[in-house]
Amino acid sequence: MSEITAEQVAHLANLARIDLSPEEINRLTTELGQIVDSVAKVAEVATPDVPATSHPMPLTNVFRPDTVVPSLTVEQALSGAPDHDGDKFRVPAILDEE
Amino acid sequence: MTNLIKLSAADLSGLLADRSVSSVEVTRAHLDHIAAIDTDVHAFLHVAGDAALATAARIDARRAAGEVLGPLAGVPIAIKDVLATQDMPSTAGSKILEGWIPPYDATVVRRVRDAGLIPLGKTNMDEFAMGSSTEFSAYGPTHNPWDLDRIPGGSGGGSAAAVSSFEAPLALGSDTGGSIRQPAAVTGSVGVKPTYGGVSRYGSIALASSLDQVGPVTRTVYDAALLHDVIGGHDPLDSTSLTDSWPSMAAAARAGLADGALKGVRVGVIKELAGEGFQPGVKQRFEETLALLARAGAEIVQVSAPNFEYAIAAYYLILPAEASSNLARFDSVRFGIRVNPAEGPLTSERVMAATRDAGFGPEVKRRIILGTYALSAGYYDAYYGSAQKVRTLIQRDFDAAFAQVDVLVSPSAPTTAFKFGEKMTDPMAMYLNDVTTIPANLAGVPGMSLPMGLAPEDGLPVGLQIMAPAKLDARLYTFGAAVERLLEATWGHTLLSQAPELAPTEMFASEEGVV
């Protein structure tokens, strides 16, 4: 059995910036434990001599010519924003007052 | 008069080219059918009726003026909602993007428009393509046209249901662990996941960037090839896009229709994907298909891929890890909804957390938390690092297998379409649906699903999966077209001709806006 606790899930939710309810945390603690137990089997064959693959068709040094091409206008870039002010995204306070 | 909605894209192409029918007529026929049945099927999240008819009229005018257009010009197409479309909402099935209209088109959408195809609308999917049933769509599930009480597969259940219920001859899908092939299998249609990098991912809302691949969803292998030729090829806007020049997939499919196309083809049967956990009727149709192939001159070879049994475990570490970082972009600042917390100070961090709580559904939360865990200090090597090593082992299994055979085959999915709710409470049971399709994504090789019959016990479609070595997508089309021809000659009809006729519903789906 995995050692995942509700405190750990609450911490992960905070890292992932998702406000989970206590019920969601409890449910996810159980589910995550089951999933992690099941996926942990990767360690059975992942021996030190096996190199890791991060990308199925590896490419290196993908460059394009350093030329200016048309990009989104300010209006387009802001068109989907929940809030904006002039030509900028408007966001709530970045820092807590305390 | 021919029933236009029952024709393949290739047949429509011929009628449009010699102007026996107009694109407006073809488009209207599909829109009428969508209006009649989509309240029941719910393949579409958005139908762009007026825009589609206007585009069709422009194609007709260009053709009337003597312009020579591409083979699919004037043919309607449905677009999975994971793809950015400048003129239609693009939600990826999530509340967090409700109503979002992107300021740009995905490259595949741009290519489809440039080739003169007619976008009909956006198709339903599991939220951010996380799921195998469309039950995780924030906008309600899509229903399988073969039995409306059953799932159409996922995540691309909307695209598969749209083509198999004749709402569109063609659709675009995306396949991260089987989201094109598994829906094709359970709806009796055809779906192709191209070689990783063969089709641009630019403008495809990212799930797991090292696994995602866009591909065609159709009713015939040849139609898939025609669409592949439109969307494939290098795109400088996607840094993982391969710069290879590709042969015509349509020509490859036509080669498969020649007599004797199966003679001498070495067909590998993967031992690990033909045993336990497969429904009896799926196994039976698979065995029968192998026997047919052998009689047609193919050489059936048993091969082993011992590391495939670790594929699901590796996938459910790599995918959540990549998804948790990709979905960090939903920060309530640049696009999508913004939700303020019920109480306490309004800081960006707290608004972001409240927005993500309200905007993400249960499966998305589950996978983000799992991915965050797999990537956290102290666990990274044991989980994510090991999963990447399994990926190497699976690639080696493919290499060893393709040293012996030309193509690999397996059932596309372990079961036929299951009923709604059957697997919703058990995440691992849902994940096991993808046991057959995930290895191709991990290794980057191309895969296709095409119908190989109906399971005797429930009368529902069963799919054959074909895989080829990386970059040899053309081989899939040649072999796939040959198998399709052989099966249909044996049956005396297409599989989809056996699907029940869907009665028009009383309430018509709205033609504009999210349904």
Complex-level ipTM:
0.95
Say what the alpha-carbon torsion angle B285, B435, B361, A11 is, to the nearest 10 degrees. Answer: 170
Beta bridge partners of A88: A85
Q: Hey, which bits of B431-488 come out as E strands?
A: 447-454, 461-467
Q: Residue B42 is part of a domain; what is its CATH number?
A: 3.90.1300.10
**pLDDT tens per residue across span B212-271:** 999 999 999 999 999 999 999 999 999 999 999 999 999 999 999 999 999 999 999 999
- Which residue is closest to A34 within chain B, CA to CA? B428
Nearest to B189 by CA among B215, B150, B161: B161
Cross-chain residue pair A34–B428, CB shorter than 8 Å: yes
Q: In angstroms, rounded to a whole number, what is the distance separating the alpha carbons of residues B127 and B131?
A: 8
Token pair belonging to B146: 């073969």
- The closest alpha carbon to B265, from B444, B478, B489, B443, belongs to B478
Residue B334 tokens read as: 């640049």
The answer as to whether B366 is a domain residue is no
Tens digit of pLDDT for each residue in B89-145? 999 999 999 999 999 999 999 999 999 999 999 999 999 999 999 999 999 999 999
Q: Do A57 and B240 touch (CB under 8 A)?
A: yes
Task: Indicate if the pLDDT at residue B465 is higher than 70.
Answer: yes
B203 pLDDT more than 50 = yes
Is residue B223 within 8 Å of residue B171, measured between CB atoms? no
Q: What is the pLDDT of residues B44-63, one digit of tens each?
A: 999 999 999 999 999 999 99
Mean pLDDT rounded to a whole number for chain B? 96
Distance from CA of B121 to the nearest CA of A (A): 20
**Which chain B residues touch A64 with a CB distance below 8 Å?**
236
Domains, chain A, in order of start with CATH, read: 1-47 (1.10.20.60)
Length of chain A: 98
Q: What's the gap in Å between the CA of A5 and the closest CA on chain B?
A: 12
Of B210, B316, B444, the CB nearest to A39: B316
pLDDT at B510: 46
Has residue B218 been placed in a domain? Answer: yes
* Cβ-based contacts of B370 with chain A (< 8 Å): 32, 35-36
* Integer Cα distance of B33 and B370 in angstroms: 42
**Which domain does B162 fall in, by range?**
7-307+393-498
Would residue B163 count as lying in a domain? yes
Residue B385 located in a structural domain: no
Check B365 against A35: CB less than 8 A apart. Answer: no
Closest-CA residue of chain B to A13: B369
B21 assigned to some structural domain: yes
* Surface-to-core class of residue B6, CB atoms within 10 Å of its CB (0-12 exposed, 13-18 middle, 19+ buried): middle
Res B507: pLDDT: 52
Note whether B10 and B220 are within 8 A (CB). yes
Q: How far apart are CA B410 and CA B319, in angstroms?
A: 23
Q: In what order do the strands lie in the sheet with B407-411?
A: B44-47, B118-123, B76-80, B170-174, B214-218, B190-193, B447-454, B461-467, B407-411, B266-270, B299-303
For residue A89, list its beta bridge partners.
A84
- Main-chain phi, psi angles of A84, to 5 degrees: -150, 165
* Distance separating alpha carbons of residues B400 and B62, to the nearest angstrom: 51
Q: Is residue B507 part of a domain?
A: no
B470 in reach of chain A (CB within 8 A): yes
Q: Is residue B484 part of a domain?
A: yes
Catalytic residue among B13, B90, B132, B155: B155
- Domains identified in chain B, total number: 1
Taking CB atoms and an 8 Å limit, are A92 and B102 in contact across chains?
no
B85, part of any domain? yes
Distance from CA of A1 to the nearest CA of B (A): 15
**Rounded to whole angstroms, how far apart are CA atoms B241 and A56?**
12
B80 catalytic, yes or no?
yes
- B20 catalytic residue (yes or no): no
What SS3 class is residue A47?
coil
